[in-house]
Amino acid sequence: MPEHIETIAPKLPGVKILGKIDLNLFNPLKKTSSKSISQQHIDNAFNMAVNKDTGITVLSLFHESLKQVDPTFNYRDLGFSSFRKFCESLAPTYAIVMREDGTMSLKKSE
């Protein structure tokens, strides 16, 4: 995906083009966020929440575990609009799976 999208405006009388407009809507806020969470905290939270028999955890339980490991954790502070998007960003180490009951879960990638 291109970094900048340019369009050529038609010549309109009385209209002056001042410069390019950055239309890169795909630039996630997390790139500019100064807040972060360590991989160790993520791994610890996953290990706290994971079902040992299935190897997966429900996203809500993982979120609770992250808050236990790091009480200041807030996915919005990391630039994500939803916890699911935060979890998707953990790829390739972790992957989101849809369970048969329709709930979303997280598993460690192999």
d(Cα 110, Cα 42) in Å, to the nearest integer? 16
Tens digit of each residue's pLDDT (9 = 90 or more) over 3-55: 444 445 455 555 554 544 444 444 444 444 567 889 999 999 999 999 999 99
Classify residue 99 as exposed, middle or buried by CB count within 10 Å of its CB (0-12, 13-18, 19+).
exposed
- Where in the chain are the domains? 29-108
In three-state secondary structure terms, 69 is: helix
- What are the tens digits of pLDDT across the range 27-39? 444 444 567 889 9
CATH of domain 29-108: 3.30.420.610
Q: Is the dihedral of CA 68, 46, 35, 98 positive or negative?
A: negative
pLDDT at 26: 45
Overall size of the chain counted in residues: 110
- pTM here? 0.67
Q: What one-letter code names the amino acid at 35?
A: K
Classified as helix, coil or strand, 110 is coil
